[in-house]
Amino acid sequence: MNKKYCIAIIVVIVVAAIIGTVLGILLTSPSADENEVAIRAFTINHETNTFEMDGKPFRYVAGSFHYFRALPQTWRQKLKTLKAGGLNAVDIYIQWSLHNPEDGVYHWDGIANIQQFVEIAEEEGLYVILRPGPYICAEIDNGGLPYWLARKYPGIKVRTKDENYLFEVGKWYSMLMPIFEKHLYGNGGNIIMVQIENEYGAFGACDEVYKEFLRDETFRYTNDKAILFTTDRPIGDELKCGQVDDVFVTTDFGLSNFTEVQSHFRKLRDIQPTGPLVNTEFYTGWLTHWQEPNARRGAADLAKTLDYMLLLGANVDFYMYFGGTNFGFWAGANDWGIGRYMADITSYDYDAPMDEAGNPTAKYRTFREIIQKYIKVSDESDIPEKQKTMSLRALTLEPINSILSSEGRSTLGSRQTKSSTLLTFEQMRQFSGFILYETELPKFTRDPSNLVITDLRDRALIYVDGEFVGAMSRENYISTLPISANFGSRLSILVENQGRINFQIADDYKGIRDRVRVQSFHNSQQSYTTLTDWIITGYPFDNYADLEALLKSSKEDYRIDASGNALDGPIVFYTEFNIDEDEEIADTYWDTTDWDKGFIFVNGFNLGRYWSVGPQITMYIPKDILKYGKNEIYVVELQKAPLNFKMNFLNGPIFINDEAV
């Protein structure tokens, strides 16, 4: 350094010191350390290719944890476990449909108390990576978008510049984003990053107007107090398609060898030559659908990928670190093409480092070993012990009634709607559950004839004169059913919504979208009669009091055959049992073996769907919904119950057909 520069710098320092002192005297506040406040910022250094926190290099190792998949009473314990795994940040999606389930209705309490979640994370010493979507995929119904958008604006083009969509997103952000304002890093909080859209490149629309709208709409609330970013897969042009001007780009990928890790990050470098490397979704396992093997991903190979990324200086966010449960009817579905609609299972265990109950697994310890080579991790003694479990004594349930009986209809069903055409769930203003479509069959000229449902969403149980005659399924590509003339004339079709598509979403209206016909052959010609004059009844199962009302009014108006088959409609089962003060309440798992398909409420809480086809065989029952004194269980079994009506409980989960993916 030459002398002239040296003097210039000294002059600058002296002047700065004088100004600083004067300002210090003018602005002295007894509580705040103004030097610290002045430099509080989370930024990007494009020379060192790192993040900087208050001017110092910073790297995050974060874990995804969806608050909507764990009971709020358990958030703190789970965040402590996540932190003890060596992580310094938690990544959260926001599920719009949870907070805004109907137009104009907002929830912010209990499991929807997102502000409390962020505050607990802060108290536990974790930074937050906020991913508000509004589309989040996440294997959640409709990718987190509220179902009512499609009702209010038929044909709406979500995730594009469709003006109705932009209007609703703007309105939603005006409700949501102010909650986070004081929690942004630059405002003194713990939120360091905020995502724009979610793997938008994979959607293929590359809509510049929408991307810029969402960036500006987000910036309105974040104001440079946190870093805005996008996440896209290092596949084809997706990174480019999802990129927005002035927004930091990150990528996502799972199990990879060193060559592949380098190649993925090179694709990121191609469109963003400097700045820190970030993998926002490092897949610790994978999602699972019903009717397929249970996805597993080995810890040892993943640990190598993790090591490579950290060695290259990258920031890593595990997806998922804790997966949790798709409670109620929130599980989504995927559609990989014709006949490949597949509903997601209720468990979102994901083979993540923390299991469905939130306990550390072997994978957790393997990852922690790698992480501690690179960043300071908390003491090993901070790792919580595995929580206790119990196998609750076996319970015998009592069949209460069929949901299609007159009591079932009056307590669980909506008011009947008459319509010449079939109305969808959306038109019936019903998020999920079931819709019953009923009409008269024409007089058959050929026996049997085929009943044909066009565009069934998603599964139908079919009854003629109240008797079960068969099922149809979108998943299994079954849309016809032979019906004999002597079966009767009254046709009842009970359609189950198995979850809206969460990836590549488009118009997944539920119910029967097209029509129902009777098909027969005359002189080698097919002839069709389209059925009309429908009577439509909704069964949303979104009000626990309805089940209690059924229990009260029940006249045992149901039939079960010698094999346990429900003959005239799904049957509601009930039991109550006591837990004494001297017993210990712990997590337990209902072993659904011998039950068939349905869902379960425990003490008023819908724990989600079960299905004998697997691979998920047990239903996780968190200890926090059990209580001392009287507990109540309702099971709605759609098809077939065990003959002794017994529920057995286990100490741990069962998944069948594990498959390495």
Residues identified as active-site: 199, 281
528: enclosing H helix or E strand: strand 525-530
Nearer to ligand NAG, 81 or 256 (CB): 256
Nearer to ligand NAG, 257 or 565 (CB): 257
Nearer to ligand NAG, 257 or 644 (CB): 257
Choices 256-264, 436-444, 600-608, 646-654 (CB under 6 A): range interacting with ligand NAG: 256-264
Nearer to ligand NAG, 260 or 465 (CB): 260
Q: 347-380 burial by CB neighbour count: b if 16+ within 10 A, else e?
A: bbbbbbbbbbbbbbbebbebbbebbeebeebbee
Using DSSP's 3-state secondary structure scheme, residue 261 falls into: helix
List the structure tokens of 230. 């996008």
Cβ-proximal residues to 92 (8 Å cutoff; 6+ apart), any chain = 64, 65, 66, 67, 114, 117, 118, 128, 129, 130, 131
The pairing of beta strand 227-232 with beta strand 127-131? unpaired
Nearer to ligand NAG, 259 or 381 (CB): 259
Q: Is 304 in the site for ligand NAG (CB under 6 A)?
A: no
Cβ 453 to ligand NAG shortest distance, Å? 43
Q: Is 259 in the site for ligand NAG (CB under 6 A)?
A: yes
Q: Is 29 in the site for ligand NAG (CB under 6 A)?
A: no
Give the one residue of 181, 212, 260, 292 binding ligand NAG; rule: CB under 6 A.
260
Rounded distance between C-alpha atoms, residue 80 and residue 61, angstroms: 15
Cβ 263 to ligand NAG shortest distance, Å? 9
List the structure tokens of 452. 């044909």
Cβ 257 to ligand NAG shortest distance, Å? 4
Residue whose tokens read 């979640």: 117
Q: How many residues bind ligand NAG (CB under 6 A)?
A: 3
Using DSSP's 3-state secondary structure scheme, residue 183 falls into: helix
Rounded distance between C-alpha atoms, residue 334 and residue 289, angstroms: 8
Determine whether 44 is exposed, middle or buried from the number of CB atoms within 10 Å of its CB (0-12, 13-18, 19+): middle
Cβ 233 to ligand NAG shortest distance, Å? 16
Choices 252-260, 403-411, 489-497, 601-609 (CB under 6 A): range interacting with ligand NAG: 252-260
Cis peptide before 132 (omega within 30 of 0): no
Radius of gyration for the alpha carbons in the chain, expressed in angstroms and rounded: 28
Nearer to ligand NAG, 305 or 439 (CB): 305
Nearer to ligand NAG, 263 or 484 (CB): 263
Residue 128 φ/ψ, nearest 5 degrees = -120, 130
Choices 25-33, 130-138, 254-262, 267-275 (CB under 6 A): range interacting with ligand NAG: 254-262
C-beta nearest to ligand NAG: residue: 257
Using DSSP's 3-state secondary structure scheme, residue 130 falls into: strand
Determine whether 25 is exposed, middle or buried from the number of CB atoms within 10 Å of its CB (0-12, 13-18, 19+): exposed
Cβ 381 to ligand NAG shortest distance, Å? 38
Cβ 259 to ligand NAG shortest distance, Å? 4
Nearer to ligand NAG, 233 or 240 (CB): 233
Q: Is the dihedral of CA 441, 446, 447, 451 positive or negative?
A: negative
Give the one residue of 35, 257, 484, 657 binding ligand NAG; rule: CB under 6 A.
257
Type of residue at 454: T
Reference 69, options 21, 15, 117; nearest CA is 117
Neighbours of 204 (CB within 10 A): 13
Cβ 423 to ligand NAG shortest distance, Å? 49
Choices 38-46, 255-263, 304-312, 641-649 (CB under 6 A): range interacting with ligand NAG: 255-263
Query: Which residues contribute to the site for ligand NAG (CB under 6 A)?
Result: 257, 259-260
